[in-house]
Amino acid sequence: MASDKRLIKKYGKIADKIIALEPQMRELKDEDFKTKTQEFKDYLQVEGNEVDDILVEAYAVAREAARRILGMNAFRVQLIGAIVLNSGDIAQMRTGEGKTLTGLFPAYLNALTGKGVHIVTVNEYLSERDAEINGEVFDFLGITHGVNSSSASKAEKRDAYAQDITYTTNSELGFDYLRDNMVDNFADKVQRGLNFAIIDEADSVLIDEARTPLIISGGSATVANLYKAADQFSKTLKVGENDDAEVDLETKQVYLTEKGIQKAKEFFSVNDLFSTQNTELYHLILNALKAQFTFKEGVEYTVRDDEIMLIDQLTGRIMEGRAYSDGLQQALQAKEGVYIEEETATLASITYQNFYRLYAKLSGMTGTAKTEEEEFIKIYNTRVVVVPTNRPVIRKDETDLTFGTKNAALKHLMGEVKEVHEKGNPILIGTTSVDSSEQIANYLDKAGFDYQMINAKNHGREAEIVAHAGEKGAITLATNMAGRGTDIKLTPEVKELGGLVVFGVEHNEARRIDDQLRGRSGRQGDPGYSRFYISMEDELMIRFTTAKTRQQFLKLGDDYIKSRLFNRSVNNAQKKLEGMNFDQRKNVLDYDNIVAQQRETMYAQRDDILTTENIEVVVERMFYTTAYELVLKHAKIIRDERTLDAESLLKEIDGKYVPKGEFKPSDFDGLENNQIAKKITNAMMKFYHGKVDGVDKNVVDRMDRGIILEVFDDNWTRHINIVSKLKSGIYLEQYAQNNPLSEYVEKATKLFNDMKVKIAEQVTDRLSQVVLREVATDRQPEQIEITDEDIEKIFNETGISKEDLSPEVLSQKFADLKAKVDPKDTDKLKRLKVQEDILQGLVIELQKRGIQPQPPKEINLTEEDVNNIIKSFGFEEQEFTKQQVEDKYKELAENRTPNEMFQLEVARQVLLSIADQIENIKANQAKNEDKGSGQKVSKGRAKIG
């Protein structure tokens, strides 16, 4: 792999070629830019032509466009960064080096393919800001662009993704992908493929957020009282080596000791806490322990408006709409005494790692990622290339001051803040948590300083506050990297004073976060200064120093030590923590990889179900799987050989899956399993065709597709929840000397294969229960005749009337009747099923003959309703005839659901009535011209029969 130095040299030569075209580009007229864009697009339409072939000229055109529109002429280093991005790597560019402009070039170049480019940011403010800035340039170049936001409608999202370039946030992009794979109609999808992504703040998105999967959830049914009980139990426990529970500070895990296990048994009145029936209880207890002992209010979460709101650990921002899964959110709600929401079941989920690996090409920009390059290479197959600064960095990074207590550190900090503030330098104080920022705010208040604060409880104005943080005398207190993406620009007066002063209060888990804080000062060759204040009470120090060392530091009192050797020790602790976090993310990925493969398989099959023109191919495949499983099920082992028990097989399928009397046991003699399965499949298809014979093919196809999708989604949802539970307890396999990951892969694969068989069997069962007419084999012709007396008997027995004869009403009526029957009374349930099938068949037969089974209803319509109906048929501002209404009705009736057809029929009746009135008016006008040629149709009848 080429070193950064060699790559920068190579890309520098390409950048020089781009700059050399500047005189030529200056000669272009404004209207020539769109022409050049079209020339590039035409070139890329030719097979074999690649974007790299036109990179130099395309970048030169975009550079000149940005100069004319924005007044910014990209520096050589920005062009180098842009070339890194097009190569599918991460460009590390320091704060203030112009990453927004850098991203414009690869976005323009790759948008020329017409396959779409996604520019991903960490929040919607940055998406909208960058789209507004670069959007002017894209408009000038003839490239379309859009912004995808969480509040956008489906139509707006679809339009945004249809543009050449789409600005979006990382979470919304992932959720749209999941939602797209839950639609019932392929046309309802909003995305159009994952071609090329440019991720701003790539380390935040691809590293920091990789531990939290994206999850779409639905309702489940664990009772709130159970969470409260588990919370009450956790509050009775003592933590310590010889107590009820142990907390591993390094990994933030909590374990029950033998003493704690005994307490749990007594508290919940169970004999065996680890038995199968107590799996859910043990899961609740573990979540309660985590919530009680490893999660802190103001650090991992905050309480706002009686809700638990998650905090982004590295930016301090509240993560709107995000919640912990697997009951941890409910455990926190129980802990804080707020309303406990219903626990949710996962409907769809994906990790950022596996989502972004779906892109054909992935790149990103950030100020600090080199320390995580190993992770980028192993997980995303992207290098991190450090792009040199446009001007040398002259910021002074001072050695840390280390204190025994937090109070001593903050007292000294206030003294230095006062000294710097009196000189007029702007000050930025960075903290690692909301708690820490509020503690420092108290010190600033007592010292009488005016300051601005950004944390999870006050993040709405962060960009505005950060933009003013470089003004003379400004003091800004920020949780971690709040305001990333917004430059802190200095006035000439502030530069003369020595620039922005950055104070860090305790080190972050990752060195790059410290570097990001320092990097807010000294942008574009500006002067600057940074220093970190450390205390032995900081979380990092507690986790990675001994109690004895911390005790010795207490002897310092209000004094401190200033040691580069100690700095190296802190640096090594951060490296260790980075390694642990990488292992944790890698562990998440290792387990998610098996589910990712299954997810891609399922989503591809789902798309096939949605898009295939001949859904019968899918039905036949399901039938074959079921038939083959039935053959295996009814095979007996005789003298070490598997032999088919044809009698038991026929008993199960005869009249249920195949026409009654279709086969004799001898029909399967001498055939292989697959041959028998194929023979049964053909009979199943014949049986099914007989049941739907005479019904409109579009209706049958919609029914088939709907049933398959419903069964498909139900089983996939159940599978991912089972696999999630499997993962949470798989670590116990190590006590049996087994590799947990290997065991997980094996069990998850078996569950997946079982699920695919279940889908086929359930689809077969559902389709076999469709009774539009009875089907028998040609060998044993059998007819079932339903008389008017039979229908009347059903009405009398069920309480259903002729007015109930519609598919939806019948389904609801019979569902209510079945709910009242004892589940053990199978005869009664079977009788109700037959009665429902008869009445549903009657409705279909009446519809085929053009007979309306229900008496007309009265429907109240307002003037606005009538106007909307006229508009839906496209007749606004014009007269129309009955024939035009009928023609339009036939056109609109294509591919409608029963409910939509009912609404359409109402609209048809309304418009026919209005058309009739129009004809009457015209007739009256013809008879008597003086009755007013300006007569109009009345406001519409109040009731339409």
pLDDT tens, position by position, 183-194: 989 999 999 999
pLDDT higher at 105 or 905: 105
928: in domain: no
Q: How confident is the model at residue 112 (pLDDT cuts 50, 70, 90)?
A: very high
Residue 771 pLDDT greater than 60, yes or no: no
Annotated ligand binding at 96? The verdict is yes
Q: What is the mean pLDDT of residues 265-273?
A: 85
Name the least confident of 16-25, 463-472, 768-777: 768-777
Q: Is residue 571 included in any domain, yes or no?
A: no
pLDDT on residue 932: 39
Tokens of 105: 């070039």
Q: Are 913 and 869 in contact (CB under 8 A)?
A: no
Mean pLDDT of 744-751: 92
CATH code: domain of residue 246: 3.90.1440.10
Q: Which residue has the higher pLDDT, 748 or 591?
A: 748
Rounded Cα gap, residues 836 and 839, in angstroms = 5
Q: Alpha-carbon distance 138 to 104, whole Å?
A: 9
HSE toward the beta carbon, residue 344, CA cutoff 13 A: 15
Higher pLDDT pick, 792 / 365: 365
On whether the pTM is more than 0.75, the answer is: no
Same domain, yes or no, for 331 and 356?
A: no
Average pLDDT, integer, range 583-591: 81
pLDDT of residue 343: 67
Which pLDDT score is estimated for 163? Answer: 97
Q: Answer yes or no: do 543 and 484 share one domain.
A: yes
Residue 482 has pLDDT above 80, yes or no: no
* Residue 774: per-residue pLDDT: 47
Is 99 annotated as belonging to a binding site?
yes
Grade residue 276 by pLDDT with cuts at 50, 70 and 90.
low
What pLDDT, on a 0 to 100 scale, did the predictor assign at position 938?
33
CB 669 within 8 A of CB 147: no
Span 544-564, mean pLDDT? Answer: 87
Q: What percent of the chain has pLDDT over 90?
A: 43
Predicted pLDDT of residue 781 = 42
The pLDDT assigned to 721 comes to 82
364 is in an annotated binding site: no
Q: Mark whether 795 and 710 lie in a shared domain.
A: no
137 shares a domain with 167: yes
Residues in the chain: 945
Which residues have a Cβ under 8 Å from the Cβ of 878 and sit 6 or more positions away?
A: none
Tens digits of per-residue pLDDT, 664-693?
Answer: 999 998 899 999 999 999 999 999 988 888
> Residues 603-658: pLDDT tens digits?
999 999 999 999 999 999 999 999 999 999 998 876 667 788 899 999 999 989 99
What is the CATH classification number for the domain harbouring 552?
Answer: 3.40.50.300
pLDDT averaged over the chain? Answer: 85
Q: What is the mean pLDDT of residues 89-101?
A: 91
Highest mean pLDDT among 233-242, 468-477, 777-786 belongs to 468-477
Tell me how far apart the alpha carbons of residues 726 and 746 are, in angstroms, rounded to a whole number.
Answer: 11
If one compares 664 and 944, the residue with the highest pLDDT of the two is 664
- Residue 59 and residue 199 in one domain: yes
Task: Note whether 181 and 284 are same-domain residues.
Answer: no
Determine how β-strand 635-638 pairs with β-strand 641-644. antiparallel
For residue 403, the cross-strand partners are 535, 560
Q: What is the pLDDT at residue 527?
A: 95
The predicted structure's pLDDT at residue 934 = 39
Residue 877 has pLDDT above 90, yes or no: no
The mean pLDDT value for 439-464 works out to 80
Same domain? 672 vs 709: yes
pLDDT for residue 28: 96
pLDDT tens digits, one per residue of 487-502: 788 888 999 999 999 9
pLDDT at 847: 61
- Average pLDDT estimate for 206-229: 75
Q: Residue 775: what pLDDT?
A: 47
- Separation in Å, CA 436 to CA 34, 305, 429, 480: 53, 22, 11, 10
Asked, for residue 942, whether it belongs to a domain, the answer is no
pLDDT of residue 930: 47
The predicted pLDDT at position 855 comes to 45
- For residue 623, the model assigns a pLDDT of 96
Q: How confident is the model at residue 484 (pLDDT cuts 50, 70, 90)?
A: low
Strand 344-350 versus strand 307-310 pairing type = unpaired
Q: In this predicted structure, what is the pLDDT of residue 202?
A: 92
Please report whether residue 604 resides in a domain.
no
Is 589 contained in some domain? no
- Res. 586: pLDDT tops 70: yes
Query: What pLDDT, on the 0 to 100 scale, is given for residue 501?
Result: 96
Does 419 appear as a known binding residue? Answer: no
The residue ranking higher by pLDDT, 11 or 737, is: 11
pLDDT computed for residue 73 by the predictor: 96
pLDDT at 760: 96
Per DSSP (E only), the strands in 203-320 are 214-219, 245-248, 253-256, 301-304, 307-310
Question: Six-digit token pair at 204?
Answer: 């935040």
**pLDDT above 90: residue 154:** yes
Closest CA to 900 of 884, 889, 916: 889
Residue 424 φ then ψ, to 5°: 105, -5
Query: Lowest mean pLDDT: which of 89-98, 373-382, 809-818, 893-902?
Result: 893-902
List the structure tokens of 492: 């000439």
Asked which of 709, 741, 769 is the last residue of a domain, the reply is: 769
Segment 730-753 mean pLDDT: 84
Same domain, 412 and 333: no
Tell me what pLDDT residue 859 has: 55
Task: Name the domain count of the chain.
Answer: 6
**Type of residue found at 531:** R
The segment with the largest mean pLDDT, out of 106-110, 344-348, 764-768, is 106-110
Stated as kind and residue range, the H or E segment containing 303 is: strand 301-304
Lowest mean pLDDT among 417-426, 768-777, 864-873: 768-777
- pLDDT in the model for residue 55: 97
pLDDT bin (cut points 50, 70, 90) of residue 459 is low
Shared domain for 472 and 556, answered yes or no, is yes
Q: What pLDDT, on the 0 to 100 scale, is given for residue 924? A: 67
Strand partners, 217: 346
Which domain range does residue 509 map to?
396-562
327 is in an annotated binding site: no
Asked whether residue 509 carries a pLDDT value surpassing 90, the answer given is no
> Tokens for 809?
């009403």
pLDDT band at 250 (very low <50, low <70, confident <90, very high): low
Q: Can you tell me which residue has the tokens 């830019």?
A: 33
Task: Tell me if 868 is assigned to some domain.
Answer: yes
Burial (0-12, 13-18, 19+ Cβ within 10 Å), 710: middle
Span 564-580, average pLDDT:
85
Rounded distance between C-alpha atoms, residue 8 and residue 20, angstroms? 18
pLDDT for 51 beyond 50: yes
* Whether residues 67 and 157 fall in one domain: yes
pLDDT at 943 over 50: no
Rounded to the nearest 5°, which phi and psi values hold at 827? -65, -45
Residue 901: the pLDDT is 64
Cα 852 from Cα 483, distance rounded (Å): 65
Of the three residues 736, 769, 802, the one that is the final residue of a domain is 769
If you average pLDDT over residues 83-109, what whole number do you get?
Answer: 94
Please tell me whether 871 is known to bind a ligand: no
What gap in Å lies between CA 747 and CA 750, rounded to an integer? 5
Look at residue 103 in the predicted model and tell me its pLDDT: 96
Average pLDDT of the segment spanning 274-286: 76
Residue 858 lies in a domain: no
pLDDT higher than threshold 80 for residue 455: no
Q: Is 686 annotated among the ligand-binding residues? A: no
Q: Is 433 in the same domain as 538? A: yes
Residue 944 has pLDDT above 80, yes or no: no
Written as one letter, the residue type at 223 is V
DSSP assigned state of 426: -
Question: What pLDDT was estimated at residue 339?
Answer: 86
In this structure, is residue 578 part of a structural domain?
A: no
Q: Are 719 and 599 in contact (CB under 8 A)?
A: no
**Which domain CATH number covers 706?**
1.10.3060.10
Question: Do 44 and 105 have their domain in common?
Answer: yes
Residue 841 has pLDDT above 80, yes or no: no
The whole-number pLDDT of residue 857 equals 47
